[in-house]
A and B are shown apart, each in its own frame.
Chain A
């Protein structure tokens, strides 16, 4: 019953390919959308804080205070705007023109020199953006340390720190967040492409009444299913190649793994994503509903729970468990590994296992729901 007749399968695949090529929207989804999304996610989502605007009011004309100001201005993390009064700075902070204000009191040098209590530097940050606020705190501390070392050097009392902390960021030596965000966003992009493309195809046949005509011919269930997966697999892999090329050649993200491993993992992932879309399309029979369901069920979790932006390790336990059924999680992890670390067998095999199970689940479900009747 479920035999595959090569001629019929080929005829169906050819028909599907004609439809893909002639439908501008599928070309748009497969080729243009990934490039746009990659750029948006690669550049707009930036976890590195650079050139944060801060306000500075130095009420003390003394050399120590001037020196501190110079240290601040020299930092690449800050864009320092001096303000005339506290009120003005507070106003700017309230309007979001600056993210923090730093005050050096008029008695700064005097207190420092005379050792009358602690010389105070006041930092007020915009707590509405806690991430940025804590960055500023840390960077200001860094700038303060630099200033103190400079001060000590001037006084000739060079203090040798007992601990010398040397920081090395493995796999992403320059610590550019884009290098790990882009591989993750490829996983998100491929989730959209995979689920969105196939979510439309079966529903389209129902809406246009061609499914009825098709079912009245000798096609088998298997032929129907395979002919819906194969052409879109080819399309999805083409999109994958585009993503890879754009990341490596245009955005300059290093790729350190094996292409064969990438091919294998992408195949497993696409199988699941296409199966997911196909299942929704088969069950819902309406292009609009199926596309909406695909976006909600595949794209949103991929964005939030794949570990692409938000680390899975810091999620609540229940959510961490939930991520295990998301193909994007395994794929994002595989891609980040392949791009940044290389072919790390033990991790990739585990991911491959996860992806295979998910693929089997969705394709199996789609096959189960594909019927030879209209009921």
Chain B
């Protein structure tokens, strides 16, 4: 694995690459020129639709560039593909595994296809199986592996034939943080051996681990460089508001109104702010954060740099929240149990997807369900909003058992599904009209409500666009608008921000925060660790069980040690899961 060092100059060169799929509209890749050094891990970072996958596929010779040229190891991947394929490893987003073949059969297939035979194959298999810890599972069908194991097997298959360049398309998606850390260890080892690795990701915290990153948006590279360099440009612009006694959401909202503040998020008990200029600090007093509150400078993150490049955050005011009436619960509803799970259990055959889960969510609380894919958070979630019937236990909403009177409960809740579940063949206006009609709005009330939503989510320019043709961020906005049409007193959001850019994510959280302040109870699932910080409380779901429940800071503190006094949310996540495994 050291051929990369034999060549001089960059391993990958891209000159003026343009890729269009349709003659009209914006190209998927819009004039990218960059060079990637051998033996490094380079992150392609950006939201869905930024052009990461198209770029990787072009590099793998799977797409013909519309304009511009590519050189990998001095070869044109489209024209000299045959020569290049022997030296290139590529793992597509879905790992490229045959689910009905066993681990060993998958490895054998790819070894045959990549011309790895005889003694070399035996050695490669031994090394790969040891490397991935898959040796005990060689006879298991790939479809029956966990997400993390699939990803490692996919990596092993793309590594057969010891490629000099390795292209990984979002290997971290859908994989729990523990497996992700292992993957990083493996890829780091490969890069040290001289392999050039290109790794695409939507997670900015993950990208901080790369040697070099390309921040991408709308088919363009916004910035290139080492994460430390990019973050260095933000030095002196990142602050924490500590010692907050008032409500953090209120403080964040006020802070975001200050002209000096470019962006802000909630981080546990603190509020984290990014300034427009280093040294120009805002006035703390008007935020009424409390007597003990203080501004403390903190280390920048890659996300800060990205937000700054995108022109700053969206502000903290939510037009949606402003027009939402303050929630008045029925007098018989316990305000400490607007949402409640009592020994909630769901079995599919022998397998318990949700196993004895209990929690209560208070009025106006933002409650987050966190957990790796397949841990059971979606199952729990679906039972709580009446889409799945529990095997045993009870799911209650405002004291109403969803098993006995699901439609009565559903009238009071809003639900936004993980997948886009609006009518993609209808225009934005018709979707709004349909969903408001479904919830029983008609005449003037319907018109007024629709107009309010159009203003709150800035949908006016897209009213006659088909929902299918909307940009991802607007699809999510429309979905939230449709879910909020009937002014529900509680709302369920299943991974509402997955795949969208950080600015749109901020905007979503501004809505969520604003709604919570109006007394709307929010239950949300997410796999962004930083988003978990916005929640008042988090339930950590693992293997169907609720293994931890508490505020973000409580969870973080529970894994604090002498060597690691200030653990991150991801540290807490990994620590608690490892604890549960023992």
Given the contacts A373-B61, A373-B63, A1 and B82 also touching, CB distance less than 8 Å = yes
Which residues of A lie under 8 Å from residue B100 when comparing CB positions? 18-19, 22-23
- Interface residue range, chain B: 35 or more
Contact yes or no, A373 B64, CB < 8 A: yes
Which residues of A lie under 8 Å from residue B117 when comparing CB positions? 7
Contact flags A218-229 to B (C-beta < 8 A → 1, else 0): 110000000000
Contact yes or no, A217 B62, CB < 8 A: no
Distance A373 CA – B117 CA, assembled complex (angstroms): 26
Contact yes or no, B97 A210, CB < 8 A: yes
Smallest beta-carbon distance B95→chain A, Å: 7
For chain A, what secondary structure do more than half of its interface residues adopt (helix, strand, loop), or is it mixed?
helix
Distance A105 CA – B296 CA, assembled complex (angstroms): 116
Given the contacts A18-B105, A209-B92, A372-B81, A217 and B98 also touching, CB distance less than 8 Å = no
CB-contact partner of A213 in B81, B91, B112, under 8 A: B91
Distance A375 CA – B157 CA, assembled complex (angstroms): 24
Tell me whether B181 is interfacial, beta carbon within 8 Å.
no
Which residues of B lie under 8 Å from residue A92 when comparing CB positions? none
Stretch of A8-16, A132-140, A313-321, A332-340 lying at the B interface: A8-16
Tell me whether B85 is interfacial, beta carbon within 8 Å.
yes
Distance A15 CA – B104 CA, assembled complex (angstroms): 12
Contact yes or no, A208 B99, CB < 8 A: yes
Distance A373 CA – B62 CA, assembled complex (angstroms): 4
Which residues of A lie under 8 Å from residue B108 when comparing CB positions? 11
Contact yes or no, B110 A375, CB < 8 A: no
Tell me whether B113 is interfacial, beta carbon within 8 Å.
yes
List CB contacts (< 8 Å) of B76-101 with chain A.
78, 81-82, 85-86, 88-101
Tell me whether B497 is interfacial, beta carbon within 8 Å.
no
Which residues of B lie under 8 Å from residue A11 when comparing CB positions? 108-109, 112-113
Tell me whether A214 is interfacial, beta carbon within 8 Å.
yes
Distance A208 CA – B98 CA, assembled complex (angstroms): 8
Tell me whether B114 is interfacial, beta carbon within 8 Å.
yes
Distance A373 CA – B95 CA, assembled complex (angstroms): 18
A-B contacts at CB below 8 angstroms, number: 92
Distance A216 CA – B168 CA, assembled complex (angstroms): 12
Distance A209 CA – B95 CA, assembled complex (angstroms): 8
Distance A373 CA – B94 CA, assembled complex (angstroms): 17
For chain B, what secondary structure do more than half of its interface residues adopt (helix, strand, loop), or is it mixed?
loop
A220 closest partner in B (C-beta): B82
Distance A12 CA – B111 CA, assembled complex (angstroms): 11
- Give the total of A residues in contact with B, Cβ under 8 Å: 27
Contact yes or no, A218 B85, CB < 8 A: yes
Tell me whether B428 is interfacial, beta carbon within 8 Å.
no
Smallest beta-carbon distance A28→chain B, Å: 15
Contact yes or no, B109 A216, CB < 8 A: no
Contact flags A187-218 to B (C-beta < 8 A → 1, else 0): 00000000000000000000011101111111
Given the contacts A1-B82, A7-B117, A375 and B96 also touching, CB distance less than 8 Å = no
Which residues of A lie under 8 Å from residue B97 when comparing CB positions? 210, 213
Given the contacts A8-B113, A18-B101, A212 and B96 also touching, CB distance less than 8 Å = yes
Distance A215 CA – B90 CA, assembled complex (angstroms): 10
Contact yes or no, B113 A217, CB < 8 A: yes
Given the contacts A1-B82, A213-B157, A374-B63, A218 and B113 also touching, CB distance less than 8 Å = yes
Tell me whether B525 is interfacial, beta carbon within 8 Å.
no
Distance A208 CA – B154 CA, assembled complex (angstroms): 13
Tell me whether B391 is interfacial, beta carbon within 8 Å.
no
Tell me whether B229 is interfacial, beta carbon within 8 Å.
no
Which residues of A lie under 8 Å from residue B112 when comparing CB positions? 7-8, 10-11
Contact yes or no, A213 B82, CB < 8 A: no
Interface centre among B61, B62, B117 (most CB of A within 10 A): B62
Instruction: Report which B residues bind A (CB closer than 8 A).
Output: 57, 60-64, 78, 81-82, 85-86, 88-101, 105, 108-110, 112-115, 117, 154, 157-158
Would you list 12 pairs from A and B whose C-beta atoms are within 8 A, ordered by A residue?
A1-B82, A15-B109, A18-B101, A209-B94, A210-B96, A216-B89, A217-B85, A218-B82, A218-B113, A219-B113, A372-B81, A375-B63
Q: A15-B109, A216-B62, A373-B63 are in contact. List 10 more A-B contacts (CB 8 A).
A: A7-B115, A14-B109, A18-B98, A19-B101, A210-B96, A213-B110, A217-B110, A219-B113, A374-B57, A375-B63
Instruction: Report which A residues bind B (CB closer than 8 A).
Output: 1, 7-8, 10-12, 14-15, 18-19, 22-23, 208-210, 212-219, 372-375
